[in-house]
Structures are given as structure tokens and as C-alpha cells.
Structure 1
């Protein structure tokens, strides 16, 4: 019986916490929820662009550059060992690096922002 009492007490405490800590969100005075969401998105889109352009793309570029030069070095050592240079992996990494280096100039027009 005490197991059910503990469960019931925990449920009541959780229900009370949800009721006390929750707030009701209203759209602007007209009740236009879509307009409220669009307004929030328009305000936040500039911040999102700034963060992506200044943080996300440079981090991806750095990671790809490190992988590119590491793979290029490994391909060179394989060339010295086997006498055949494998271009596929360094070429793919270089193409991805070029894509992400130039992406901030055109990605936002593609997304319509």
C-alpha cells in the first residue's frame, strides 16, 4: 500500500510543479499565431545567419582542412611505399572544403533568407 502512496504523492508533486511553473502563451492581440511565429523568425534569422557564418562554417572548414592535409600526407606515404598515388580521397575532401568555404556566399539565397 505504501508503494501506491509514494507514487500518488510523487504524481501530485509533479502535477503541482507543472501547474505552478507553466505559463500561457498568447499571440498578439489579434490571435494571429502565424504572424507571431513569422515575426519571431524574422528577428532570429539574422542572429542565426551570424552564428552559422561565424562559427559553424569555420569549424567545418577547419575540420575538413585538417582531414584534407592528413589524407594528402597519407596518400604521399602510400605513394612512396607502393608507387601509386591515390587521388580519390584527397580530391573529395578538397571539393568538400571548397564547397564549405564558398557556402556562406550563396547558401542563404538558396534558403530564401
Structure 2
């Protein structure tokens, strides 16, 4: 039994040594920042179009649905308990305003 365990450990050590010896470090050659800037410049108009026409409208729709659902549940809680909770509807409304107006200024920030 000890012979089998010794063989397995020896095999594992050899495999580990082989992997470590054959592993080559990968270094970036050239100007990485320049490559990223060139890629961004080439794809900037496409990214803007997708974000303005797909991402922001989807986020706006989700926030609008959440806002109206939360206002409805807050109203029903008001009818049940006599106290209207303003925090969650106000936060959702502020987020909705932020995402509705974001396409006007987000690209000047980036």
C-alpha cells in the first residue's frame, strides 16, 4: 500500500514540476494603453448607439415599473396602517430621473 501511495505522490510531484518548468510568463509587448485608446476610439460610436438606444431604455423601463409598483404598495400600506412611506418611492424616482437624463451628460464625463 505504501508503494502505491509513494508512486502517486512521485507522479504528482513530477507533473507539478513539469507544469512549473514549462510555464512561461506572459508580458505585454508594446504600448498597451495606446492599443486600448485606439480600440475605444474605433468602437466609441457603436458603444454610444447601443447604450443610448438599448441599455438606458431598458434600465428606465425597469425603474419605472418598480417605481409605480412601489407607489402602489406604499398606498395600500397607507390605507392599511395610516402612514405613507416616502423613502423607497423617492429613491426610485431619483434613480429614474438620473437614468432618464444620463444620456445627455454621461458621454462628456467619459
Change beyond 3 A, Cα 1:78–1:37: closer
Unmatched 5+ stretches in structure 1: 1-26
Partner of 1:97: 96
**How far off is 1:39 after superposition?**
2.8
Q: How many residues align?
A: 104
Equivalence map 1:33-72=2 (5 Å): 35-72=34-71
1:58-78 CA distance string (max 9 Å, x none): 000000000000000000000
TM-score, normalised to structure 1, is 0.67
Change beyond 3 A, Cα 1:84–1:47: same
Pairwise CA RMSD: 3.0
Partner of 1:107: 106
Partner of 2:75: 76
Q: Point out 4+ residue stretches in structure 1 off by more than 2 angstroms.
A: 32-40
46-55 or 34-43: bigger deviation = 34-43
- State the structure with more CA Rg: 2
